Structure 1
């Protein structure tokens, strides 16, 4: 069975996203989400990025089963790669030293551990709530935040902390016995 999903948390930050998930036995699935944010806001504020976050999931029950009352939990091992161009905004958790006054442009890669719950919403629709603890290695060039700002330098950062939080709507593309 294949599912299609959208992360509402990312949509709230103007990030376009879609994911597909395929199960390959009653306890495992592979999720392949992609997110993209191409927007620049007033005062050159931006969180532009393109991110890929494949994840192997181990379910504590059969995959994609459960009603609203019956919640299915899983843990996942995630990898991620992203290209980003962000600045002029408060980026949480100390990921960058001065995100409000500096623009950071570069690449990042890493992995993480996810814990989440999925529950039925009726018919083929499901909800999913989860969070990921990540380790990321970030390569970047930094610039003054104003448009076409002066180059400030290059650097790398290691980040360990909260990563993707998700509140997702999931659609099952084929009916699977929902209890």
Structure 2
């Protein structure tokens, strides 16, 4: 089974296992405004596991190619478990997130095609705007392992080099608009 199929199956099973107990104020849909600034469509769903714990399943996809065939196309999945210090969807929270992505493209004279996987820790805050609308700001730091092929931007099937890299640093940034059901 490929990595993608495995990740998709795990996310589906997590969602299915918790969807049976959804109630009012226990489920939210969200979108990250910072992704939209990079023309990256994204959506997330968050649901309560208890009074102070929620599960967030977010995904983003950027299919665009820019002028002169420059692009940074990718898809990203980032599940997260959050602990809320007050009540769910209100005030300060900390979280643990995972991330997986596939990317291809580049803006310089090189092209990068590869995958990344990792995880990290998040701190954030939710402001209540109205009974159903919230604004959330979050920042995360952590680790990502990248596996990729590096090649010149000139299309050439045989002139690439396999590489890998370990990354430590920011792994999440979000200013999200949230609708709570």
Normalized against structure 1, the TM-score is what? 0.83
> 1:26 touches 1:61 (CA, 8 Å); kept in 2?
no
Structure 1 residue 129 displacement after superposition: 0.5
1:165 aligns with 2:173: yes
Deviation track 1:114-141 (CA, whole Å, cap 9, x = no partner) reads 1110011123010000111020000001
**Cα RMSD between the aligned structures?**
1.2
Match of residue 11 from structure 1: 36
Deviation track 1:15-63 (CA, whole Å, cap 9, x = no partner) reads 1100000011111000000000011111222121111100010111110
Within-5 A mapping of 1:6-155: 6-65=31-90, 72-88=91-107, 100-146=108-154, 148-149=155-156, 151-155=159-163
> Whole-Å Cα distance in 2 between the matches of residues 5 and 80 of structure 1?
17
> 1:57 touches 1:77 (CA, 8 Å); kept in 2?
yes
Q: Which runs of 5+ in 1 are unaligned?
A: 66-71, 89-99, 174-179
Deviation track 1:129-159 (CA, whole Å, cap 9, x = no partner) reads 011102000000112124x256331100000
For residue 54 of structure 1, give the secondary structure of its aligned residue in structure 2.
Answer: strand
In terms of fraction of residues, the more helix-rich structure is: 2
Match of residue 13 from structure 2: none
RCO (CA 8 Å, sep 6+): is it higher in 1 or 2?
A: 1
Count how many residue pairs are aligned between Structure 1 and Structure 2.
155
Q: Which runs of 5+ in 2 are unaligned?
A: 1-25
Match of residue 19 from structure 2: none
For residue 129 of structure 2, give the secondary structure of its aligned residue in structure 1.
Answer: strand
Segments ≥4 residues shifted beyond 4 Å: none
> 1:81 touches 1:107 (CA, 8 Å); kept in 2?
yes
Single out whichever of 105-114 and 150-159 deviates more from structure 2.
Answer: 150-159
